[in-house]
Amino acid sequence: MFEHLISVYTLSNYPLLLSSLVTFAFGYWEYIYSFRLVLAENKAPYPLWMHTFYFAHDSTWCIRLFLAASQNDFNWFLTGTSLALLLWNGFEVFNLWKAVTVEREEIWGPYMRGKVVPVDAAIWDIVKQILGFYCVVNLFILFAGGDCLFEWFLFTNILIAWGPGELWRKRQDRKGCSVGLAIIIVLATVNTFAPWSMWVLAMPEIFDTTWYYVSGVAFTGIAVQNLSVVLSLPAKKWEKGEKKPIW
């Protein structure tokens, strides 16, 4: 598995390396916003199911890539991507911990009929979601083949362009949201579906297709719409002498 990615990811393939670096940077930037917001405002910009999905996805591919690297003389691309996913898992664990400790009432309160949400109930719900997403991710790997890494990476970027919108619409102000984050998501989505994306450069036979670019227009439009949702919400209040809120 991964023979093609090993062959194209060489240290002399500068366009692909640069495109991949930009893509990974966008991914980290989007998650850095998440834990900045939950630390500063006690609300995350992403719904719980996105954190549980990303945890299942990233831990699955972290392990699979590490095992593949061990069988390919610890190829630098497989090993480095595995470590990058391990770091993302750390971000996801932090956000899930914050969901239980500071967002518990907002996330699970509406389903408790006015009762206080027990910590163990919140943790059990997270565990169930993660187990379900492990099944989803690994079933699709079984169906599509063990080296469908880039196909899954594309879906993770689609989800971040689409997923937060409904949560943002439910909020009464920009607390837990961010205009800056929404702009970053728009730019990251454009980068994902551009002709210079790491997907097209690495695997043009799969991604350099009409449906890929049509999907890019659609999901960029959704990301722009989500940006308009944040802009329509009342701005965060700030008084002189206070720490400026996250824009």
pTM of the model: 0.95
Do the beta carbons of residue 48 and residue 107 sit within 8 Å? yes
Domain range annotation of the chain: 17-232
User: Which pLDDT tens digit goes with each residue over 186-232?
Assistant: 999 999 999 999 999 999 999 999 999 999 999 999 999 999 999 99
Q: Spell out the residues 6+ positions from residue 100 whose beta carbon is closer than 8 angstroms to its own.
A: 119, 122, 123, 126
Neighbouring C-beta atoms of residue 123, cutoff 10 Å: 15
How many other C-beta atoms are found inside a 10 Å radius of the C-beta of residue 153?
Answer: 20
The secondary structure of 182-223, three-state, reads HHHHHHHHHHHCCCCCHHHHHCHHHHCCHHHHHHHHHHHHHH
Q: Which residue has the higher pLDDT, 153 or 114?
A: 153
95 touches 46 (CB < 8 A): yes
Assess whether pLDDT exceeds 90 at residue 80.
yes
Would you place residue 153 in the very low, low, confident or very high pLDDT band (cuts 50, 70, 90)?
A: very high
Percent of the chain scoring above 90 in pLDDT: 92
Tell me what pLDDT residue 238 has.
80
The whole-angstrom separation of Cα 60 and Cα 130 is: 11
What DSSP element (H or E) covers 5? helix 3-8
